[in-house]
Every structure is written in C-alpha cells, then in structure tokens.
Structure 1
Amino acid sequence: MSYVIGIDLGTSSLKGLLVDKEGNVLITKSSEYELLTPQPKFSEQNPNVWIEALDIVLKEIIEAFPEAASKTEGISFSGQMHSLVLLDENGAPLRNAILWNDVRTSKQCQNIMDKAGQEVIHITKNKALEGFTLPKLLWVKENEPTIWEHAKHFLLPKDYLGFYLTGNKQMEYSDAAGTLLLNVEEKVWSESIAELFELPLSIFPKLVESSEQIGIIKKELAEKFGFTTDIAVFSGGADNACAAVGAGIVEEGMGLASIGTSGVFLSYEPDGQQDYEGKVHYFNHAIKNSFYSMGVTLSAGYSLNWFKNTFAADKSYDQLLSNMDNVAIGSDGLLFTPYIMGERTPYTDSQIRGSFIGMDTRHTLDNFARAVVEGITFSLNDSKILMEENANKQFTRIVSVGGGAKNSDWLQIQADVFNAPVVNLTVEQGPGLGAAMIAAVGLSWFPTMNECVDKFVHYKEEFLPNPENVKKYKKVYEIYKGVYAATKETTHKLHALND
C-alpha cells in the first residue's frame, strides 16, 4: 500500500494526516505554536515555528507508522490564507509573518478602494479587506522602509513550507486569489495593480496549479524525517479550498456550511465568469480551472462559545443544546445577531455589535441557546441568499462541517433555514484531507478530483427541509434581516465609547 501526507498549516497548530489509497486516515499528528500580538490590532507568527512544527509532525508520523518511511509517495499542504511572509535575497524571513486576522491595515484598505476600488474588484473579484495580502505589503512598505528595501520575495504560509522542503518558491492559484493581486479570471498576476501601488513584479512568486509537483523533499531533510525514498511535493491549496475538497464540494449545486470559530458558506463555481461585485469572496479553487464563492460570519461557533462560557459555564455543549427541539421556531420571539466581533458578509462592518432582540419574561436559557443557534444559521443564510440572487444558484446539497454538524437538531435547523438537503460527513478531517487528496491527484492515483472524492469522501446522514418549518423560518428570517439596520447606529455609538 502507498501513502500520501496532507499537512494543514493553521493559525494555532500544524496538523499532519497519513492517508492510504482507499482514503483511510491512518495517523494524525499535530504540533501547536504561539500567536504573537505585540500591540492592539497586530497578529503575527515567526515562520520558523511552522518549520519546527512540520519537523515534529513528519517525524512523529514515521515513528508511529514506520511503513510510511518507504511507502509515502507524496505530500501536499493546506494553509491559512492571506498571511504575508516576506523573504530576503537568500530566502530568509525579514520579519514575523503578518497573519490573516491582523487588522492594522484599515488605512491601506481605504486607500486601495479610494484609488482603484472598482478596478480591484473587477480584476480580483474581491474588495480590499484587512485580511488580504496587498494591504499588508503596503503597510510594510509605508511603515518599515528598511525591511521593504531588503524584500526580494513574498510567499504565503504553506508556500513557505513548500520552499523549505524543496528549495523552490511558488504560489498556487487558490491562495494567490486571496492576495488581492491576482487576475482571477486570467490566472496571472495583475501588472496594473502592481503598477498602481508601486510593487515590483520581481517579488511575485511563480504561479502553479494546486496539484502541480513543485519538487521533491531535499535529501538531507528526508533523512532527518526518516524517509527512505524520494517524496514528491505538490503545491497544495488555501485552507478553505482544501476544506471544500475534503468535503466533496467539487460540482455545481453543492455548498459548504462550515461552523468553526468563524463561519463560512461556500459554493462551487464551475468557471470564472461570475461577478458578485465584491459582495462575497470569489477565489480560484484547488481544482484546476474552477472557482468558489464564499461568505463569512466572523463569530459563528465563537458566538455559541461566548454564550456558553458567559451564561452556562457549568454545562457541556450537548447539555446546553439538549432542549432546543422543545423550543418553537424563532425561539418564541427571541432573535440573536452574531455580530459580537463585527461582521464580514453581507455588511463588512467592523463596528457592528451583536444583539438579543425581543426578550421577555417567558424566555429561558433554552430559548436563548436556540436563538444563538438560529442567529448563526441566519447569518450563514445571508451569504447563501447573496449567491442565489446574484448567480441564480440552486443548491441541491449542502455539506455541514464543524460544530454545526455535531448536533442533529442544528442540522435540521440548517436544512429548514437553507431550504435544501443538508448532509454531514462520516469522518470529518478538514483541510488536511483536502491537501492529501491534492497529492493523490498529483500522483495520478485518480484521473480527476471528482473520482478522488468518490473514494475519499463519505456522507453520514441527510436532513431534508420540512416544508412547514421552511415557511416559518422565512418569516423569522425576514425579521432578522431588519435588525442590522435597526441597530447599526446605536451599536456604532456604543462601540465608539470604548474605542
């Protein structure tokens, strides 16, 4: 039996999966690292901690499964998007990586949109937001001129791992699409955007496909890890693209509802012709010549985590949600908006804050718990509705992953709110599995990603929308949509008091 390794480089840890040709995950290892917040709004990491974590994980995989030393054929990556790694002429990091959740670049984002907003949206399909890479490059250029003077290359986190293993520098399209520098349709760096913001094209990496082989692991590294054969290294994909691959989102009509700390509603797009005018994110997929659209709820699972820790710290999540099914749709007139850390889609508002609306003496902890779950689901539905209205989409299946896929009542709520069949996965491995699948396709284990999905991805349960519930939720959702406008001015003023 032959194996591949999928590496998922996250914000707090690096995870490695050893997977065989049948799609079985044989070994999972992980290594954690620190997030650096040197001052308010800053979020950074030393790229060396990713290297140390990768070394640990690969060694531990071989120690736990010795056969992997001689029978692993390929390795690929999933990685946190947008985070800037600046390198000098020798390929050494010039500073800590500026991460996707760093928000120091509001000024740069405003300048981008003022100077070339419509052109940026037309070319990159996305608006300038603090998370993207272009504003980070401009921040370094404006605030750290000495570092900028020595900058010869930039990469994203998983591409830095690929460079470490092979000595070759490149970036694949699904991650490049999140830089705000890629012409998404034409799959080339935008020379006009680079020129507008005076960025030298010499610092831009070569562009490759996700399943393209970028080299083999250097012999000295292979020996250090314990490999006894050459290991092909494949470029990999952005974390959301890999999560979509690992959930089987590879054909039109499929959507992904991911409820982690943040929430994502993601849709497969068969070509690059769709124009959402920046209302949702639009990126190249990890599957050649395909794309995906994505809306983001900033505080999805985090809203439930905050609520539990604040009001029901003595309860487990299962206990907190155990009576949800006994509460009426709409939580007996109680609404929650999950804007506790601002919101991304559809409002792009960092100052909006969350609300409970409609509280009265009838409401118990169970009402509040269901209201939080419904509010998170409504927020994801905002993204789904944008996709339906702007692209005439019809969702035939939505795959639910993360916290929202672990509770059957919540899965039914999703089916009823989305008005579409919702399924969960038999085994949920996240972006790491998508990375392994990219390696499997790169090695020609499968002719196409769809055939790899058929072998690797399996669904557990299906929840169908209940027509009566759908009608009730449509009425509640219409009321929910009015809360943002009704509370915006008030919450902005409150936020300003503490800013």
Structure 2
Amino acid sequence: MYLGIDLGTSEVKLLLLDGDGRIVGTAGSALTLSSPQPLWSEQNPVDWWRATGEAVSRLRAAHPAEFAAVRGIGLSGQMHGAVLLDDGDAVLRPAILWNDGRSHAECAELEAAAPRLHDIAGNLAMPGFTAPKLLWVRKHEPETFAQVRSVLLPKDWLRLQLTGDKVSDPSDAAGTLWLDVARRDWSDELLAACGLTRAHMPRLVEASQPSGVLKPELAKAWGLGPEVVVAGGAGDNAASAIGIGATRPGDGFISLGTSGVLFVVNDRYRPNPASAVHAFCHALPQRWHQMSVMLSAASCLRWFCQLVGSDEATLLAELAPDDSVVNDRVDRTASAPIFLPYLAGERTPHNDPFAPGVFHGLRSATTRADCTYAVLEGVAFGLADGLDALRAAGTEVHQLSLVGGGARSAFWAGLIADTLGVDVAVHAGSEAGGALGAARLGFLAAGGSVDAVCTRPPVAALHCPDPARAARLAPRLARFRDLYRRLRGA
C-alpha cells in the first residue's frame, strides 16, 4: 500500500493506493486562508500538520488493514509558499502563499539584481513566486529575516515533520526562482540576489526518489511498520500529471482547483517568460514542462456560492439539471454577463496582481443561473488565454485531461472543450489530482517502475468541441479580452 499526501490551499487530502494501482480510499481535512491585509494570503503551517493528522485518523479508521500495510509515502503540495525557520526549526511567521500579491515591487528589484533570472529560472519574477517574498520580508520584517536559517516549501515543511529531513525536489523548487531549471540544481547567483545561500536551502532529490523514512515514533503512532520510505514528492501540478499518466512529451492536462492550470510535458527546458508561461522541471528525471496559471479557477465558483448563500451542487443543478446531457442545455450566451475571474489578480498571460474580478453587463432580468454560467465561462476564457500563451511558446495540443474538483462537472468540461477547441478527457478518479500522483511517487520510491505505475486511468468521458457552441462563445471571448484591456490600471 502507498499513501499520497496532497497539501492543497483549501484542504489536506490523503489517498491510499494498492499495489495494483487502484484507489482504496481517500480522506481530507479543510484548511482556511488568512488575508490580514489586501493582496496578502497566509496560512499557519501548524494547521497543515493538524489537518494531516485528522485526515490520517479518518483514512486509518475507514481502512485499518490497508493503512497498516503502507510502505511508501509521497507528497504533493501547493507551490511557491515561503515557510521560514530559525536555527531551531521553529516557524518564524505565517507562511506566505502562492496567491499572495504583496511583493510586486520586489519583483522589479529581483529582475534588476539578477539580470540572468529569465535564462536561469525560466520565468518572470511574479509576486506568487518564493524569491520576491523573501525580498519583501528582508525589507519589511528585517528582524524576522535576520533569524531565517532555512526556507522550505509547504510540502517540504510537512516532510520535516514526517522524517526530520529538509529535502525538496526539482519540480517544486523550480517555482522558487532560485533553481537553475535546466541543471535541476540551486543557483548560487539567484540565491545571492536575495541575500541567501545554499545553506538556507533543502537538499534536492528527484520526485520519485527516496528522501528519507518516516520517524519511528510517528510510524508507531500511525500503526505503520518500520522503514516506511518517503518520496521526494512534487509540486501539485507535476504530481497531478503523474496521477493521470502525463509523462511523455506532448501529454497535457487542465487542473481546475483553487487555481487553473494548463500543463504540457516537454523533453527539454523550453523557457518563454515573455508570455508569462512557466517553464518548470517535471516530476520525472529528464522531463520538463510548460505551464500557464490563472490564480482563481474553481475558487471563483466557491466564492460565488458564498456570495449568494448556496452550494456548488445547487448552482450547477440550476444551470444544467441533468449534467450528463450536453446538447439539451439552455444557451445563456445571450443573457449572461461577462465575468473576469481575477479575484486574486492574474498570472498568465497578464502578470497583473492588481487585476480585479468583474461582473459586466448585469441587467434587471439577469438571473442567478446566468451569473453561475458567467463564472464558469470566465474561467474557461482564462484558460483559453493560457492556451494561447502556450501556443505562442511553441506548444500545440489536441487533447487535454481534466483533473481537480472542477472535473466533476460535465457542463464545465464541455464548456472548456468548446472554448479551447480541444478534446477534454475526464478520467476515472481524476478529481483525486495531486493526491493520486503523490501516492504513485511513493510507490516509485518504494521500488515501483514508471511504466507500471504511471499509467493513464481509464477515460470516463470525452468532451469534444461543438462548432455551433464554439461560434456563440467566440464573440464573448473577444468581449472578455477587451474588457480586461479597458480596465487594466483603472
């Protein structure tokens, strides 16, 4: 048995995988965000560990015999977060997360201090990345910065609790702006630009390699045997790719989680920062990937649920009473407002932490279902912008898998296929996302082979673009893009 631990933004999710690659069970525990000031997004790492313990208890209670047989653990996690530790490994301040926008000024400072940043790290300096966060701490919290002895990414702080070891992997480390992405090693030049050295960084292992073993006292408390190996693990999107078997060049997927991601595997390092496309290491050796990221995706629907006092199932049922029927849906393109999904600013392609969320075109006849549709459509339009940026970077795809919580809606999947003009495949268990990939990495670290472990799950549904619906969406996409251009900087 193999355990995947996925540290998301809204939940810690655990997944138990058997030796035949079947999902035995899952469990989760919710997390909350703290936004003490505009553009800020933080979490307390102690809450991650509490939520992990709660999820372990639930999974162990539901599958006691299978859980006791776990021999490998893999980790997946939200990327870019800055966990700052002192010389006793105590957390110095709340973790600054991937969707935090406070360090926009420090991005310009980093670009000036590290002229070769784009060549080495393969990415623009954006507020979400880790390096600008440390520059912000150095400037605004100098007493804290002076105490920093270690900087860990979120999943790697969990590893410290699991094994006592400070380790990361290239896929997650690539999101710090401190990694030489082509060489898959820390860059002394980029670290120095932030007042740091290799001594502040964890050692690196590949995502599928062992990084340590579970602490004996923790193994005993969880009812596990000795020498449970913990894999290097991966950033959430690279782990999701492993979960749906996206391992070969050209394989790709869309992740509809808190953020929205378009991910395509490459056989070499192919940076194109001018389009705000991310070039990162994949979770397998000698593999890289390009990625576009929108900061708010399924979180837009959750936000709208809170705004109108409802839940996702109710809103989707109002929109598409039979979500399995594609062709009998009400066409709302004539009545729905346009929605800009920039509730936390935006990365690809705008690199604009100040971009706002917007409903445009509300009328007295506008219904709640119209607004629900606009939210789903706005996210699909944001993904279309991301796909255009990937195409400008030389990447072409014809089919994408859909993973994450948003994969549960056939309506949304069909809308994305119509908007992007590509086939969208939903796989059995695709909502497991990073947790499944993490479990597979645990399997690999314990001796499994890539060909046997990293298979594609069966396709549960294939959504192909409908030309008539795509034609109705095209003018709305043009209005969506024009609205952002008109509002930028307003």
| TM-score higher than 0.5 | yes
Secondary structure in 2 matching 1:72? coil
How far is 1:216 from its partner? 1.4
Question: Does 2:164 correspond to 1:167?
Answer: yes
For 1:282 and 1:319, locate their aligned partners in 2 and report how far apart those are by CA, in whole Å.
38
Cα–Cα, structure 1 residues 250 and 474, in superposed 2: closer, same or farther, change >3 Å? farther
**Structure-2 residue corresponding to 1:407:** 409
Cα–Cα, structure 1 residues 14 and 173, in superposed 2: closer, same or farther, change >3 Å? same
Cα–Cα, structure 1 residues 98 and 479, in superposed 2: closer, same or farther, change >3 Å? closer
For 2:385 and 2:463, locate their aligned partners in 1 and report how far apart those are by CA, in whole Å.
20
Secondary structure in 1 matching 2:462? strand
For 1:33 and 1:467, locate their aligned partners in 2 and report how far apart those are by CA, in whole Å.
41
Secondary structure in 1 matching 2:116? helix
How far is 1:306 from its partner? 4.1
For 1:63 and 1:308, locate their aligned partners in 2 and report how far apart those are by CA, in whole Å.
32
1:395 maps to a residue whose letter is: V
For 1:38 and 1:274, locate their aligned partners in 2 and report how far apart those are by CA, in whole Å.
35
Question: Does 2:458 correspond to 1:458?
Answer: yes
Question: Does 2:108 correspond to 1:110?
Answer: yes
TM-score (norm 2): 0.89
Q: Is the 8 A contact 1:327 1:370 kept in 2?
A: no
Aligned pairs for 1:420-431 (under 5 A) are 420-427=422-429, 428-431=431-434
How far is 1:363 from its partner? 5.7
Q: Deviations over 1:25-67 (max 9, x none)?
A: 2232233455444444443333333333334433443443332
For 1:360 and 1:86, locate their aligned partners in 2 and report how far apart those are by CA, in whole Å.
48
How far is 1:381 from its partner? 0.6
For 2:216 and 2:288, locate their aligned partners in 1 and report how far apart those are by CA, in whole Å.
36
Q: Identity, % of aligned pairs?
A: 35
1:320 maps to a residue whose letter is: E
Q: 2:194 aligns with which of 172, 193, 197?
A: 197
TM-score (norm 1): 0.88
Q: Deviations over 1:132-186 (max 9, x none)?
A: 1112222232333333333222211211222222222111111101111111111
**Structure-1 residue corresponding to 2:436:** 433
2:487 maps to a residue whose letter is: T
* Greater Rg over alpha carbons, structure: 1
Q: Is the 8 A contact 1:69 1:228 kept in 2?
A: no
1:387 maps to a residue whose letter is: L
**Structure-1 residue corresponding to 2:223:** 226
**Structure-2 residue corresponding to 1:9:** 7
1:486 maps to a residue whose letter is: R
Farther-moved stretch of structure 1 (179-188 vs 255-264): 255-264
Q: 2:418 aligns with which of 381, 400, 416?
A: 416
For 1:264 and 1:482, locate their aligned partners in 2 and report how far apart those are by CA, in whole Å.
22
How far is 1:382 from its partner? 0.5
Secondary structure in 2 matching 1:292? strand
Cα–Cα, structure 1 residues 459 and 453, in superposed 2: closer, same or farther, change >3 Å? farther
Q: Is the 8 A contact 1:281 1:293 kept in 2?
A: yes
**Structure-2 residue corresponding to 1:20:** 18
Aligned pairs for 1:345-494 (under 5 A) are 345-357=348-360, 365-391=368-394, 393-427=395-429, 428-445=431-448, 447-448=449-450, 450-454=451-455, 457-489=457-489, 492=490
For 2:336 and 2:147, locate their aligned partners in 1 and report how far apart those are by CA, in whole Å.
59
Alignment RMSD = 2.8
Aligned residues: 483
How far is 1:302 from its partner? 3.4
Question: Does 2:246 correspond to 1:249?
Answer: yes
How far is 1:342 from its partner? 2.9
Stretches of structure 2 lacking an aligned partner (at least 5 in a row): none
How far is 1:231 from its partner? 0.6
For 1:352 and 1:430, locate their aligned partners in 2 and report how far apart those are by CA, in whole Å.
28
For 2:287 and 2:484, locate their aligned partners in 1 and report how far apart those are by CA, in whole Å.
34
How far is 1:79 from its partner? 1.2
Stretches of structure 1 lacking an aligned partner (at least 5 in a row): 493-499
How far is 1:436 from its partner? 0.2
How far is 1:263 from its partner? 1.8
Farther-moved stretch of structure 1 (321-330 vs 155-164): 321-330
Cα–Cα, structure 1 residues 241 and 467, in superposed 2: closer, same or farther, change >3 Å? same
Farther-moved stretch of structure 1 (71-80 vs 195-204): 195-204
For 2:319 and 2:53, locate their aligned partners in 1 and report how far apart those are by CA, in whole Å.
40
